[in-house]
Amino acid sequence: MSRDYSTNQTYSNIGIAQIALKIGKKNQKDFLNKLGFFEKIDIELLEVEKPLANPNNWREHETTRIGFGHSFSITPLHLAKAYASLSNNGYTVNPNLPPKNFLFPLCKFRLLQLQNWM
């Protein structure tokens, strides 16, 4: 009796792992690299970290697990940058912070609005 690991009706880690193997290690690494998942994001924050992945130790096990979201850790900022870049027709969107003097007047205005509302 053969098993059907089709992913078209329900989510299946085994099915996704098989698809990841068909895509291949090289294509998977190239795509993640294009998304910037192997580098630190250049932004004005001290807390920025490089994602947890080792592109030099990438075997079949890593290929299958990364296919369904395991064995690779990225920051929320990396994910936001990837979504922004994908929705921008593949052109890289680099995150940045507004100037410090931009936020204070905006916060002050909002606080005044809230005080007047109460």
The CATH code that applies to domain 13-93 is 3.40.710.10
pLDDT of 51:
81
pLDDT of 106:
62
Look at residue 33 and tell me whether its pLDDT is greater than 80.
yes
Tokens representing 11 are 């989510």
pLDDT tens string 70-118: 888 888 899 999 999 999 999 999 988 877 666 666 666 776 677 676 5
Q: What is the pTM of this model?
A: 0.69
Judged on CB neighbours under 10 Å (0-12, 13-18, 19+), 63 is buried
pLDDT of 92:
92
Look at residue 30 and tell me whether its pLDDT is greater than 90.
yes
pLDDT of 57:
81
Residue 13 pLDDT level (bands cut at 50, 70, 90): confident
Look at residue 8 and tell me whether its pLDDT is greater than 60.
no
CB 38 within 8 A of CB 51: yes
